[in-house]
Amino acid sequence: MKLDRPLLHNARIADAILFWPAVTLVIWGEIFGPASPPLLESVNDKVLHCFSYFVLAAMASGALKRRGPAILAVIGIIILGGVLEIIQGYVGRDMSLYDELANTAGAIPGGIIARIVVEPLRRRYAADPAE
């Protein structure tokens, strides 16, 4: 299958749209969800935090065209994780600095890896379509 500009544009738009249900799922899981989801009981809580924020940051970075807004999106996702940890203290769950560190440890590589994938594709296919 040959990659072309419209396909990459549609993938970026789909990524941007699917980002919001993913954020909603993470927010619900952190505030209202069980401490350990039934299907993932054997997985360490910190691994779940790291993976969730890796995916969120990768989706946000991949959906944005430029590097600057992608960096701001990753910072926003890290801040979201911190705010959710604070809110957990008010809804009967335990706040944890280690959860926020796991969130950050997932978000930063997620954003970087997404940009490593997106930048070369954007440079190659975002050129003038007449070329």
46 CB neighbour count, 10 Å cutoff: 16
- pLDDT tens, N- to C-terminus, the chain (131 residues): 566 778 888 888 999 999 999 999 999 988 987 766 666 666 788 899 999 999 999 999 999 988 999 999 999 999 999 999 999 989 988 889 999 999 999 999 999 999 999 888 877 776 555 44
Cα 36 to Cα 29: distance, rounded to the nearest angstrom = 10
Cα 87 to Cα 93: distance, rounded to the nearest angstrom = 9
Query: DSSP label at 93?
Result: S
